[in-house]
Structure 1
Amino acid sequence: MNMTHDAAPEPRSAAGQRALEAHVAWWLERSQGAALDVWLEQTVDHALRDAEAFTLESVVHRDQVKTTALRYAAELPLTGGIPDLIADVAHALHAHPALDSARLDAFLPHEAIRTLTAKGIELRPLAERVLQELRDTAALQQFVEELVYQGLHHVLLQQGPWRRVGQMLPEAVAEHLMAEGAQRSAQLLTRSSQALLAAVDDEALQDAMTVFWDRLAELPLAPLRDGLAADDIDELTALAYAFWQELRLSPLYRGLIERAVEAVFARYGAMTLRALLDDLGIDRAMMLDEARRYAPRALAAMRENGVLEALIRRQLAPFYASAAFEQAIEGTSSA
């Protein structure tokens, strides 16, 4: 199947027409088989050689990268099929048969947990500082009080085993007892947490975390997966999408993106593009492998539908139709 060529300028002479057709045919021949493989290898080699002549900041400015990063991360409207696509992917992962027999330690190996736990223990001063800040926060006190109060209310006045006792008390007395108990419980919980953490030594904490993880590691994922219905996935996806839409508009988020770009340029700005690729672990073999993986099939599809020939012709025809070509073959000059 050949597509009709877009309107391209016609060569001024028969020689120009022959040269154009030969040039188009030459490129089409190079787009397949052994010739394509040679061309891909040469292209990668030339690109890597040329990459040694340029640094990152010589070809792109950090402000340009910031603009692009902000455009796609914070400004591009995420509408249309994107939310539906995210939901489709979530459903596909949820239905993956491997989850039928997988355990939690398939995602979080023991060694990784031990390493993370050891690092967490090293950060004990940070944890104690966080607990100190939370302990002194009125919002946390109110949250714990409300949580305890609701629990007591359920036990004494609704369906708990102490419901009869609660019904025997005057309502005002019951309310006072619940409020007082909630306040004292909140104070006890928030104050004791930091003291408890400080009282446990590192080795004991490591042992406790190891035992805890050993119990969780064999937890099968199927029951957890089965407890998440299709409607739950859709709702969670929608909530996450709505949250992301709000977060990406915040000044803090934009500022973090800009700072990340600054960090990249601080590390790689003066480095050559070849050295940058090496530092990222992208070598010649990897680049050539990916080119061989995708280029042949894509070019074959374009060639079969006439798109490739039309593309080549659009690029070459203006030159062969120009006065510059005629002057070249005639040996004359426009000067």
Structure 2
Amino acid sequence: MTASKTSVADALLDAHVHFILDQISGEALQPLIEGELDALLVNAKKLKLNDCVTRKMIKDVALAYAADLELGAGIPELVGDVARALYAHDAHEKTSFGDLLSDEHFSDIADKVLELKSLREKIVHEAVASPLYVSFASDLLYNGIKGYLAQNAVTRNIPGAGSMMKLGKAVMSKATPNLEASIEDGLKKYIGQSVKATSKGSAGLLLKYADDETLRDLAHEFWLRIKPLKIASLREDISSLDVEEGFVTAYEFWRTLRGTSFYRVMIGAGIDAFFDKYGDASLSELLDDLGIDRSMMMREAMRFAPPVIKALNKKKMIEPVIRRNLARFYQSDAARAVLDAR
């Protein structure tokens, strides 16, 4: 290319760069974005999701970031900072449980939980069959029997009966020092075996009397007590450290979970379900179903584009990007051939 042609190419490059800068700056930006967005939306009606991406592509990306990405060491510290900030926020002092959940929504949740009858039955059966329940019930019965024997009507109303029982107990203790402990252990063992044997029946009894209406009434009584309370009332029993440790524990659990095959299978299954529904749908239909319309896209574009472009211009970073990309054309053989033909 001759010197004159080179100077023409350079002049065209400068003009092109400044034209683009003018287009993306000031009042010209919004009409530019509107025009491009409208053109994209027209094309969105012609393109199907399967035309643009495959489910394998989306799965690979999802797994890369949701399962395979090695998270930085600063994440746990950030999680702790967020937990402390949330705990200390003064919104807790102004917000009650009732502000977050309406009576209608609470009733809907309670009704849905009550519909899970088979799950409730399993939980009750497992609970009453647990060693904790057997131990609790046995201790309750033992202390009740022991208290009754100590405070029953015979020892209260018959003169001298209490003294005679104490005397008999003292004599038996001297004659057989370990007899009282043996009787106590035997009684506890017998009660424990009885409770264990009858726990299955007690589960049925509990389920019989804990019917839907009873449980619903209990739930609503509980809700009526707590809904006026402020969220800050939880601070009486939950400290900032508790919340922080809870967040960190949840984060560590998620880190472990994301390394399991189950986690990966669930991600894949979710993406398959999405493509089964929308794979043959147009991008326009997909946007409509997601509730994303033109006004929303324009609003967000104008929210971010002007300040970002202004910041890049102020740092003199945007013009070099435009010039670098356009220069490759104006210095190319294609541009040279056009200029040489003039």
TM range (shorter): 0.7 to 0.9
CA distance in 2, matches of 1:169, 1:104: 57
Extract unaligned runs of 5+ from structure 1.
1-10, 156-161, 163-167
1:74 aligns with 2:63: no
Instruction: Quote how far apart the aligned CAs of 1:203 are.
Output: 3.8
2:258 is matched with which residue?
Answer: 248
* CA distance 1:235–1:328, shift in 2 (3 Å): same
* CA distance 1:302–1:203, shift in 2 (3 Å): same
Larger Rg, first or second structure (1 or 2): 2
Which deviations, in whole Å up to 9, do the C-alpha atoms of 1:290-314 show, x marking residues without a partner?
0011110011101111111111112
Provide the secondary structure at the position in 1 that maps to 2:70: coil
CA distance in 1, matches of 2:59, 2:184: 60
Instruction: Quote how far apart the aligned CAs of 1:78 are.
Output: 1.9
1:218 is matched with which residue?
Answer: 228
CA distance in 1, matches of 2:214, 2:193: 31
1:3 is matched with which residue?
Answer: none
Whether contact under 8 Å (2:5, 2:340) holds in the other structure is no
Instruction: Quote how far apart the aligned CAs of 1:63 are.
Output: 1.2
Provide the secondary structure at the position in 1 that maps to 2:130: helix
CA distance in 1, matches of 2:303, 2:29: 12
2:324 is matched with which residue?
Answer: 314
CA distance in 2, matches of 1:43, 1:185: 76
CA distance in 2, matches of 1:246, 1:119: 31
TM-score, normalised with respect to structure 2? 0.79
- More deviation, 98-107/51-60: 98-107
1:141 aligns with 2:130: yes
Instruction: Quote how far apart the aligned CAs of 1:127 are.
Output: 2.6
The one of 230, 236, 240 aligned to 1:230: 240
Residue correspondence of structure 1 range 1-335 to structure 2 within 5 A: 13-132=6-125, 134=126, 141-145=130-134, 177-178=187-188, 181-182=191-192, 184-185=194-195, 191-331=201-341
User: Which structure has more helix as a fraction of its residues?
Assistant: 2
Which deviations, in whole Å up to 9, do the C-alpha atoms of 1:253-288 show, x marking residues without a partner?
111111111111111111111100000100001011
Instruction: Quote how far apart the aligned CAs of 1:185 are.
Output: 4.5
- More deviation, 317-326/106-115: 106-115
CA distance in 2, matches of 1:216, 1:190: 34
Matched to 2:329, the amino acid is F
* CA distance 1:231–1:116, shift in 2 (3 Å): closer
* CA distance 1:255–1:285, shift in 2 (3 Å): same
* CA distance 1:169–1:225, shift in 2 (3 Å): farther
Matched to 1:230, the amino acid is S
Q: What percentage of residue pairs aligned between the two structures are identical?
A: 34
CA distance in 2, matches of 1:182, 1:212: 33
2:168 is matched with which residue?
Answer: none
Provide the secondary structure at the position in 1 that maps to 2:47: coil
CA distance in 2, matches of 1:65, 1:248: 17
* CA distance 1:312–1:214, shift in 2 (3 Å): same
Provide the secondary structure at the position in 1 that maps to 2:95: coil
2:174 is matched with which residue?
Answer: none
Whether contact under 8 Å (1:141, 1:187) holds in the other structure is no
Instruction: Quote how far apart the aligned CAs of 1:145 are.
Output: 4.0
The two structures, once aligned, show a CA RMSD in angstroms of: 3.0
- More deviation, 76-85/22-31: 76-85
Whether contact under 8 Å (1:141, 1:186) holds in the other structure is no
Provide the secondary structure at the position in 2 that maps to 1:13: helix
Provide the secondary structure at the position in 1 that maps to 2:280: coil
- More deviation, 115-124/303-312: 115-124
Which deviations, in whole Å up to 9, do the C-alpha atoms of 1:143-190 show, x marking residues without a partner?
4346668x78xx9xxxxxx9xxxxx98666655555554555566566
CA distance in 1, matches of 2:220, 2:40: 51
Matched to 2:274, the amino acid is V
* CA distance 1:260–1:27, shift in 2 (3 Å): same
Instruction: Quote how far apart the aligned CAs of 1:232 are.
Output: 2.7
Matched to 1:103, the amino acid is S
* CA distance 1:209–1:304, shift in 2 (3 Å): same
- More deviation, 304-313/77-86: 77-86
Aligned length in residues: 305
Instruction: Quote how far apart the aligned CAs of 1:214 are.
Output: 1.1
CA distance in 1, matches of 2:81, 2:287: 34
